[in-house]
Amino acid sequence: MTVHLPLKLKLQSPLIQRRVFVKGLAAIGLLTQTSFLSAFNGDANPISNPYKSNPDLLSSKQLNILRDVQQYLFPNDGNGPGAKQVNAAEYMIWVLSDPQKDPTDTKYITDGIGWVDETADEEYAKPFNELNTAEKETLVAFIAKEAWGSSWLSIILTYIFEALIADPQYGGNVNESGWKWLNHYPGNPRPIENLLYGNILKTVNAR
């Protein structure tokens, strides 16, 4: 499987190698550059989280753009779960809803969705959601060559990796699909409610 990467990172074999690549990122800590322990309140979460996702944060149009871009960056073609299978879009909505997140970072991510749509209009004279599959893939590849696009797509990809490898209690990695694909065995004990992101912050801030 080839993962479409915006930062000129090339996978050398169509069947990965993407597993090796993701495990390598985890090993060197690149997956912790952003809020790796973000909580999530959704159907996949078996316990109560202290923070709730804001479903109205993105419009249906924005959410469709985000999902398509994520799926292009990390598709499912039978060699491990894709972005959709690990709830990457829903995980991203929680990240954007996190009251602890820098508003500038949140705005950059949401603005980027709009920039994707604007680029579609410039290149094809129609909105991104009206493009066919080939046009969408071509557009994302085009955006990846732009300075803003490379930066924005790398952030989107990083959060996909978070959704892939985080404990399922945080909303991604549904049914431990990411762990199973990577042959990863989580440490014990697993997080309990009092130690979840948000709850633990309340405890720290109260001191």
Task: Note whether residue 11 is domain-resident.
Answer: no
Span 27-48, pLDDT tens digits: 434 444 434 433 333 333 433 4
Per-residue pLDDT at 177 = 74
- Phi/psi of residue 33, nearest 5 degrees: -70, -25
Count of residues making up the chain: 207
Residue predicted with more confidence, 175 or 131: 131
Angle between helices 147-165 and 18-28 (to 10 degrees): 90
Task: Note whether residue 10 is domain-resident.
Answer: no
Query: CA 202 to CA 205: how far, in whole Å?
Result: 5
Give the range among 48-57, 126-135, 169-178 with minimum mean pLDDT.
48-57
Task: Note whether residue 7 is domain-resident.
Answer: no
Number of domains present in the structure of the chain: 1
Per-residue pLDDT at 31 = 44
Task: Note whether residue 5 is domain-resident.
Answer: no
Task: Note whether residue 57 is domain-resident.
Answer: yes
Task: Note whether residue 56 is domain-resident.
Answer: yes
Nearest to 55 by CA among 63, 46, 44: 63
pLDDT band at 202 (very low <50, low <70, confident <90, very high): low
- Mean per-residue pLDDT, 113-130: 97
Note down the domain range covering 135.
18-206
Give the range among 96-100, 128-132, 193-197 with minimum mean pLDDT.
193-197
- Mean per-residue pLDDT, 153-180: 81
- Mean per-residue pLDDT, 189-206: 60
Query: CA 75 to CA 207: how far, in whole Å?
Result: 44
Task: Note whether residue 2 is domain-resident.
Answer: no
Task: Note whether residue 13 is domain-resident.
Answer: no
Is the pTM here over 0.85, yes or no? no
Residue predicted with more confidence, 166 or 89: 89
Per-residue pLDDT at 79 = 74
Which pair of structure tokens corresponds to residue 61?
């149009």
